[in-house]
Chains A and B, each alone.
Chain A
Amino acid sequence: MYNRPHLRLLSLALAVAFALTALWPAATLTAQDNPLTAGVSNKFAGTELRLIFANHPWNNTIQRLIPAFEQASGMSLRIESYFEDQLSQKLQVGLTSGTSTADAFMFRPLQEGRLFAKNGWLFDLKAFAEADKDWNWEDFQEAARGTVTFEGIVFGVPIVTERQVLYYRKDLFAAKGLSVPTTLEELEAAAKALNDPANGIAGIVMRGQRAAAVTQFSSFLYSFGADWTKEDGTSGLDTPEARAAYEFYGRLLREYGPQGTTNMSWPQAVAVLQQGKAAMWIDADSLFLNATDPTRSTVAKDIGFAPFPAGPAGARQYNITSWALGINELSENKEAAWEFVKWATSAPVVMELQKSGNPGPRISVWESPEGLSGFPTEYAEVAKLQSARGVGYDRPRVISVGRARDIVGAPIVVAIEGGNLEAALKEAHEQFNAFLKEDR
């Protein structure tokens, strides 16, 4: 599967990619008919666009491609980058006061999307998106399109997608003669078999911090047949399925997890894996370099990828749009900004981005072998399989996401600690119902 010749091939491919990117600016100067900027109009030549991006690999890659766009469009782009929480604060201050000078920005549709849309900060892109047939809105995954649609308006264009996967230690599985778990039952059996506290190896590690764990718990919730809310919009935490999911997640970490999981978000959890102290780790596939990069991980060569195991309700892992591009409602350059957004999300550019390791939202890119060439082979197979299925959200879809995560995350901690889950769920259910009534 993922053996040395592949690695060599991968490093060769990477070397070629790097060499090509080094040549990039020179290439664009000569090639007027660059396929990456084929459809770009120079109608807005001379416009200066201000963009605010997150510190994100997507940002690093697009900045490499932007000179070609600037040349083709005659526009100049001014980009500021911030860490995600700062980005969110920065945008909110600027947008609340109505003085933000950004024309377009990156945002997290599941975290801030509804708040921004509700406040009318995001320009409705529906007309633009549906008018341009060449750009092809239909080529975006349905879940991704759903994520950026709220009460009939399209408030952003998806740029990065991610899914939950199972990272496992091939060597430890081989040593015990275990096969990779495909169901949650097998997952628990494997965690039990591999848990070896005497040698400092935990069966499994996952997030246990109240709000941070919510997204990674969501796939368990869905796979047990539950959801955050019921069809009538009230809390779904009182169902037996939800209870079973919380109980299962808590039991896994309590019995087969390392110490201190209730303080863990992903950086803490992945550190346990990196130091070879856990046999399995379940988290977002966007984090894979943390596990497979030898400068960060002592077990890089032994990491395998598998789809999220199926539960009683089937394999229902999350498959979400983690980042989108939006246009500021107050921008005076909306059409010029759309020209940029359209280019950055066009099929050839998304292909280029995905080849550099940024999982994108376009079906056509996922279906072409070229689109998978930027990932380790096994990862590509799992990501492709999971990008076609799953649930389009990994947290409650509400306006005040932060508060909701605190409410539904509290029983996770109780479950891990082995406390009174029944009471915790009852309390969370009532709080969540009260919250949902307010959150409109």
Chain B
Amino acid sequence: MTTNYAVQVPRSAVSLQAQQRRLHRALLSALRYAAIAIVLFIFLMPFLWMLLSSFKTQVDITNTRNIFNFTPTLENYQNVFQQYEFLRYLLNSFAVAALSTLFSLILGLPAAYAIARFRLQWLGMILLTARIVPGITFLIPWFIIFSRLGLIGTLVPLVLSHMLVGLPFIAWIMIAFYEELPIELEESAKIDGATPIGAFLRVALPLSMPGVITSAIVAFIFSWNNFMFSLVLADDKTRTLPIAIFNFLTYASVDWGGLMAAAVVITLPVLIITLFVQRYIVRGLTAGATKG
């Protein structure tokens, strides 16, 4: 009995310890999930509110007593596309973002490659300066130049101005990429008869695709959300989404439902694109970041 008992004590102590540890672990993971839930809630609440409000009438939106209980309406979305012609602004935004990103890539990628391979740091600095100087500094001169050229009211000034943001960004991300790329690969391409341009196009460019996609997506989003340049350089026909969303604010009334529906419409394309290419972004960001 006693021996049994004596043996049992450490055994039960061990199992008690294991139990305690298990409990501890369960508690920790519960805490972890709780923390995740809280953080998610805080981050997602504005989105949830936006989504819910876009299906509400004005009276329901300001009602704080009952956030989830309301009769959904599609009227806001109808207004967005019919009354406020959001389709046109959506196309404008898309055209401007896509074109400015495309041209930024065409100019920025070779520039980044050249800067990395031929150590043209001064050129890199000049590019960076364009990014450091506050964008508003350029606005008035641009406006004068573009209006003298009669280009206000076309998409040209918008595409060019958005490249001011996109091009340096793409170039700077990609410089780090190309510096990291083993030069031996291009050297062997040259031995096999490739010109320097051929080596860039056939070897360096395909290898740097994750970086290209990451920087292109971020440049696209910059352009998609750009407000200041579009405000000054667009007229009512070339207006982009961030400007058009202000149509829901008038002097003596705010159409919250329409505003929220429009916000959903603006957020959705970017969200979808980002979800699709997310793995490139993660890879691209780390690849760019680890290289000092």
What CA separation (Å) do A298 and B57 show in the bound complex?
12
Does A56 contact B250, Cβ atoms closer than 8 Å? yes
Whether, in the assembled complex, B85 has its beta carbon less than 8 Å from a beta carbon of chain A, the answer is: no
What CA separation (Å) do A101 and B147 show in the bound complex?
9
For A86, A275, A296, A322, which residue has the most chain B Cβ atoms within 10 angstroms? A296
User: Would you give the 0/1 interface string for B230-244, flagging 1 where the beta carbon is closer than 8 Å to chain A?
Assistant: 011001100000010
Does A296 contact B58, Cβ atoms closer than 8 Å? yes
Q: Which of B86-145 contact A (CB under 8 A)?
A: 139-140, 143-144
Does B62 contact A96, Cβ atoms closer than 8 Å? no
Whether, in the assembled complex, A197 has its beta carbon less than 8 Å from a beta carbon of chain B, the answer is: no
Does B231 contact A96, Cβ atoms closer than 8 Å? no
User: Would you give the 0/1 interface string for B201-245, flagging 1 where the beta carbon is closer than 8 Å to chain A?
Assistant: 000000000000000000000000000000110011000000100
User: Would you give the 0/1 interface string for B273-284, flagging 1 where the beta carbon is closer than 8 Å to chain A?
Assistant: 000000000000
Whether, in the assembled complex, B43 has its beta carbon less than 8 Å from a beta carbon of chain A, the answer is: no
Does A289 contact B250, Cβ atoms closer than 8 Å? no
- A-B contacts at CB below 8 angstroms, number: 78
Q: Which of the candidate stretches B4-12, B155-163, B182-190, B251-259 sits at the interface with the other chain?
A: B251-259
Whether, in the assembled complex, A41 has its beta carbon less than 8 Å from a beta carbon of chain B, the answer is: no
Number of interface residues of B (CB under 8 A): 27
Of A57, A86, A93, which is within 8 A of B243 by CB? A86
Q: Which residues of A contact B231 (CB under 8 A)?
A: 86, 89-90
Does A295 contact B57, Cβ atoms closer than 8 Å? yes
Whether, in the assembled complex, A271 has its beta carbon less than 8 Å from a beta carbon of chain B, the answer is: yes
Q: Which residue of B lies closest to A290 (CB)?
A: B253
Q: Which of the candidate stretches A11-19, A77-85, A188-196, A399-407 sits at the interface with the other chain?
A: A77-85
Whether, in the assembled complex, A274 has its beta carbon less than 8 Å from a beta carbon of chain B, the answer is: yes
What CA separation (Å) do A286 and B249 show in the bound complex?
15
Does B247 contact A90, Cβ atoms closer than 8 Å? no
What CA separation (Å) do A99 and B214 show in the bound complex?
39
What CA separation (Å) do A289 and B251 show in the bound complex?
12
Q: Which of A281-326 contact B (CB under 8 A)?
A: 284, 286-287, 289-290, 294-298, 322-323
Q: Which residues of A contact B41 (CB under 8 A)?
A: none
Q: Which residues of B contact A99 (CB under 8 A)?
A: 143-144, 147-148
User: Would you give the 0/1 interface string for B164-199, flagging 1 where the beta carbon is closer than 8 Å to chain A?
Assistant: 000000000000000000000000000000000000
Does B62 contact A275, Cβ atoms closer than 8 Å? yes
Q: Which residues of A contact B148 (CB under 8 A)?
A: 99
Of B63, B232, B235, which is within 8 A of A93 by CB? B232
What CA separation (Å) do A294 and B65 show in the bound complex?
18
Whether, in the assembled complex, B246 has its beta carbon less than 8 Å from a beta carbon of chain A, the answer is: yes
Does B249 contact A83, Cβ atoms closer than 8 Å? yes
What CA separation (Å) do A99 and B246 show in the bound complex?
24
Closest-CB distance, B248 to chain A (whole angstroms): 9
Whether, in the assembled complex, A267 has its beta carbon less than 8 Å from a beta carbon of chain B, the answer is: yes
Whether, in the assembled complex, A199 has its beta carbon less than 8 Å from a beta carbon of chain B, the answer is: no
Whether, in the assembled complex, B64 has its beta carbon less than 8 Å from a beta carbon of chain A, the answer is: yes
Whether, in the assembled complex, A419 has its beta carbon less than 8 Å from a beta carbon of chain B, the answer is: no
Closest-CB distance, A432 to chain B (whole angstroms): 28
Of A86, A89, A289, which is within 8 A of B253 by CB? A289
What CA separation (Å) do A94 and B139 show in the bound complex?
11
Known: A82-B246, A83-B247, A83-B249. A297 touches B59 (CB 8 A): yes
For B231, B232, B247, B252, which residue has the most chain A Cβ atoms within 10 angstroms? B252
Q: Which residues of B contact A286 (CB under 8 A)?
A: 251-252
Does A274 contact B143, Cβ atoms closer than 8 Å? no
User: Would you give the 0/1 interface string for A254-271, flagging 1 where the beta carbon is closer than 8 Å to chain B?
Assistant: 000000000000010001
What CA separation (Å) do A82 and B245 show in the bound complex?
10
Known: A56-B250, A57-B251, A80-B236. A295 touches B144 (CB 8 A): no
Does B63 contact A55, Cβ atoms closer than 8 Å? no
What CA separation (Å) do A198 and B253 show in the bound complex?
30
Known: A86-B231, A271-B62. A97 touches B251 (CB 8 A): no
Of A81, A98, A296, A297, which is within 8 A of B236 by CB? A81
User: Would you give the 0/1 interface string for A383-407, flagging 1 where the beta carbon is closer than 8 Å to chain B?
Assistant: 0000000000000000000000000
Known: A93-B143, A97-B140. A275 touches B252 (CB 8 A): no
Q: Which residues of A contact B243 (CB under 8 A)?
A: 86
Does A97 contact B252, Cβ atoms closer than 8 Å? no
Does A55 contact B144, Cβ atoms closer than 8 Å? no
Does B249 contact A275, Cβ atoms closer than 8 Å? no
Whether, in the assembled complex, A125 has its beta carbon less than 8 Å from a beta carbon of chain B, the answer is: no
Q: Which residues of A contact B152 (CB under 8 A)?
A: 101
What CA separation (Å) do A267 and B250 show in the bound complex?
11
Does A97 contact B236, Cβ atoms closer than 8 Å? no
Of A83, A98, A298, which is within 8 A of B246 by CB? A83
Whether, in the assembled complex, A148 has its beta carbon less than 8 Å from a beta carbon of chain B, the answer is: no
Q: Which residue of A lies closest to B139 (CB)?
A: A93
Does A267 contact B144, Cβ atoms closer than 8 Å? no
Does B235 contact A80, Cβ atoms closer than 8 Å? yes
Whether, in the assembled complex, A279 has its beta carbon less than 8 Å from a beta carbon of chain B, the answer is: no
Does B63 contact A298, Cβ atoms closer than 8 Å? yes
For B231, B247, B250, B251, which residue has the most chain A Cβ atoms within 10 angstroms? B251
Q: Which residues of B contact A202 (CB under 8 A)?
A: none
What CA separation (Å) do A286 and B57 show in the bound complex?
22
Does A275 contact B139, Cβ atoms closer than 8 Å? no
What CA separation (Å) do A86 and B231 show in the bound complex?
7
Does B252 contact A90, Cβ atoms closer than 8 Å? no
Q: Which residue of A lies closest to B64 (CB)?
A: A275
Whether, in the assembled complex, A372 has its beta carbon less than 8 Å from a beta carbon of chain B, the answer is: no
Identify the 7 closest CB pairs spanning chains A and B, nearest first: A83-B246, A55-B250, A99-B147, A271-B62, A80-B236, A56-B251, A296-B58
Q: List 22 A-B contacts (CB under 8 A).
A: A55-B246, A56-B250, A57-B250, A57-B252, A80-B236, A81-B247, A86-B231, A86-B243, A89-B232, A90-B232, A93-B140, A97-B140, A99-B148, A267-B254, A271-B62, A275-B63, A275-B64, A286-B251, A286-B252, A289-B252, A297-B59, A298-B59
Which residues from chain A sit less than 8 Å from chain B, CB to CB?
54-57, 79-84, 86, 89-90, 93-94, 96-99, 101, 267, 271, 274-275, 284, 286-287, 289-290, 294-298, 322-323
A99-B143, A274-B62 given; name 15 further pairs at CB < 8 Å.
A57-B252, A83-B247, A83-B249, A90-B231, A93-B143, A98-B144, A99-B148, A267-B254, A274-B59, A275-B62, A286-B252, A289-B252, A296-B59, A298-B63, A322-B251
Which residues from chain B sit less than 8 Å from chain A, CB to CB?
57-59, 62-65, 139-140, 143-144, 147-148, 152, 231-232, 235-236, 243, 246-247, 249-254
